[in-house]
Structure 1
């Protein structure tokens, strides 16, 4: 029996039908399009069975499948090693083309190269597209073609280029397309994937929250953030839509979106930063890496209310306010002299919006070891940060119910820790 010729669109970090560049181009091909998602065993095997991010992915895929059913199609969901999945699919279908959007993390780059190599060996054409950023890889460079390692000139060049093309085109219309393959694929439950529901949930994003973003963004007790980051991370909303909105609404919020792209191009151009200090001169720092101290930091029992409130918020919700993230990161690296990689790994495990580029970039910024980082002698004082940004103690009382009963003694004196950090960094920086 002759198999029908088809194209595949492979969903990854772009879990939406609207304004999806790779999907848009797939639907313009001459073959019916089978939408595909693969639960990648290499990623899932290290996650807890109640990982909230897997639950969010599952719910997002359910929503996509629900939309597809309304036009007589459905989402094909598989689980396994990605190369093996594609080998099986190539036997089940007469695949002519595969479309997907690019990912810039090292694992994804290697995986995609391997998949495309196999597809080409089967005479299947492979197409990849830029979708999760406005400008990628080497599109924003210095005059000599080298990548920027300082944010401000990168931002200025980014804005200059964006302003010549604003607003960026949005690719709409996929949810009503007749080019999808007619199908009724069975959609698996979360349990069938090997996971279970988490009590932690990703909140819907809310742009109304940031009307006065620049005035309120540093105050964790004020609910003035958008909760957008997990949605950008998993692509349930397009970055083009958000950038076009921010460009006309709030310049400070737009700058935060540009920071995201800055760190992405740093990750792509300097992949060693994932496991090494961006500044090799900092390789001589003698970290204490005390495991008992690290456990107190993780559990939010350091005796510093803002640090502890932040860590408890993270552990209970998968989220932490951005100002507080800076405070807890500085505390770990400077007060406790624990390698930033320990904190980065803990955030990677807990954060709903975990994105390697931003997580590594921000941790190295806090530690002073990264590109355009805070200077090593800048040591946040958690008590001053508390007075400046949570003067009435609303935030800390929310996350530390025992605070009123007389909070514990700080595990390390700030003045001592500051002097120790500066001396350790100064002695460890390689000349």
Structure 2
């Protein structure tokens, strides 16, 4: 998001840095013991999924985790599924039957749009039921193979089959759990993620590029690709800004908690003992599928311009479009499309989506009711601190979650943090 008329320069992070240095070590152990049970459940499920991608392709899997650890993972996946599946399947079957009755009783000619919506919901329910049934079969398969392995005095080949079946069980359960929590009005949409570096700080430009890499790696770990559609490199390295589009279902639901300021805490570049912070903001905008964002905005409220883009060629500068919404001061920009008209339409859709999200955040009924003074400055909405020095630690400010392996997180392993955000929204 570009908010040129309403975003002030970020405040000096000196006070924040000293707070980090004095408070992180005391909070680390205590916070780990205070996680909500459902947070732990989601974190465990994301952890299993992250483990899957790296281990499933490893020919020496048993040397990696050991036979006892492998057996324990199989048993944990089976127990988790058995505890959950029967009740979930009963609920979903009842939902599907109810929706089938609605289809039979509804006259599509009365309201074709509503009838189409009912059919979509029925199809989704049927897929959920089929997935849960498939999970039950996988659970029984894993249990049976596990028993055969023990009877054969530990057969590594059989354990491999049982483990692969348990991975399928975990994946299905992960997807089901998240689908039940992602129930916001925009959660099923794709996501447009905008990263902006703090101005007048070369280290922040490099930090913004690290964040860009982190989100691209996260998407790849989920089996998807993030598409960089706008990128403004800094002449001395790093980026001023970048926009990524994640064109897969529920991307917005996963990533909406990433919105806000992300600070990298590091040692001073001038060899002093004082710590410094490099900062960047992340904004997440729903990217509606099939042009679902059809809300109209008065053309008199819009200022459309072609801003200069540093580091880009003249052709892209000519094609770039920036749209500012005068009543709110919100601005968005697009420069990655092949024509000025396409960039204009892309920017307009982003603006509509951003205004809808802002209206919902303020609890108002329409875009026209948005209060400009109540729009949150992204630099003042702190999301996460990544401590590089004097120790390595990632602290999610919104949820309190802390992770001791900074490099692991920057490598795209943010599933635990995403799960905590999803759970906190569900509990609020």
Larger radius of gyration: 2
**TM bracket, shorter-chain basis:** under 0.3
TM-score (norm 1): 0.24
Higher helix share: 2
Higher strand share: 2
